Structure 1
Amino acid sequence: MDRKITVLDVREMLRAKQEPFQVIMSTVATLGPADVFELHATFRPDPLIRVLGKQGFHAAVVQETEDHFIVQFYKEDIDIPVFHLDNRGLEPPQPMVRTLAFLDGHEGMKTGELALEIWNERVPAFLLPELEERGFSYEIQDEDHGTVRVRIRRAG
């Protein structure tokens, strides 16, 4: 199953006091069943999380700065929110650097309140011992068409 992350940044619209709801819903309408919708906003959009939740979407929220929230919406059901990083197309060591930076930089990963799923072109052999050393567990799923999914969680 082909997967993609569709990114929409509405921060400038919000700062200009414009209403991004129609643009957001138009973007959501283009998603495939395994796709992830990544929204960048100036605040945590709880009303939108509720609206899309009624349509079967789960949400993972990461706060980058005081006025930069990244919310990923996806339909796969899991017991805790999952943030997705698409590392396909990046040259080594960028997938590993990017993954470790996310793990180190987000409190939800440290507390176990958030999981991370990375999409790589191959099993990240050098990353796996690093994850174990940092106290993370992982599951690997090879999708046979150039995508390896690695789901990472705080161990225990």
Structure 2
Amino acid sequence: METENLVLLDVRPLLAQKQDPFKQIMETVNTLPTGSGLHLITPFEPVPLYVIMQSKGFVCRTERISNNEVHTYFEPESLAVKSHSNEPEINLDFNDETFTSLVNAFKGKLHEVDVRELEMPQPMLTILAELEHLPADHALLVHHKKVPLFLLPELKARDFEYLIYNKEKVELLIFR
């Protein structure tokens, strides 16, 4: 795609201020002129956006310019924008006992990871790395500071099931 058909968005200043750029990225995407794409500049590969943008009819390619600069190009597959959404369904309708009993069902086969103190994008990268080595009959219990909306489509794409406990704390139970 020619560069004049790409809208440039550099989110490194937002990330440097420890702000989440997702809202600005999605606002930019939702206001793209028909047939245009997005040229996104970040300090890391924006893996969470791949599934989201793919569901909106974009294909992506990434170029690593340096350790702190990654250019990702989201280009429309066609001029028609797909109207369907692959937003994940989040089931939060269960109580403490139900969640505890599900966690206990994996006794001896439960791996845990705490990502509450990690900076973006480390929580998602850490969880995905843990899942790469998770045996089929095991589960991963994740202690998180918020519901990881970017992660959920990735879990679905990789055929993982998950439950989210979001009362006083956020915990995810991820399994196949």
TMscore range, shorter length: 0.3 to 0.5
Scaled by the length of structure 2, the TM-score of the pair is 0.40
Which of 1 and 2 has greater Rg?
2
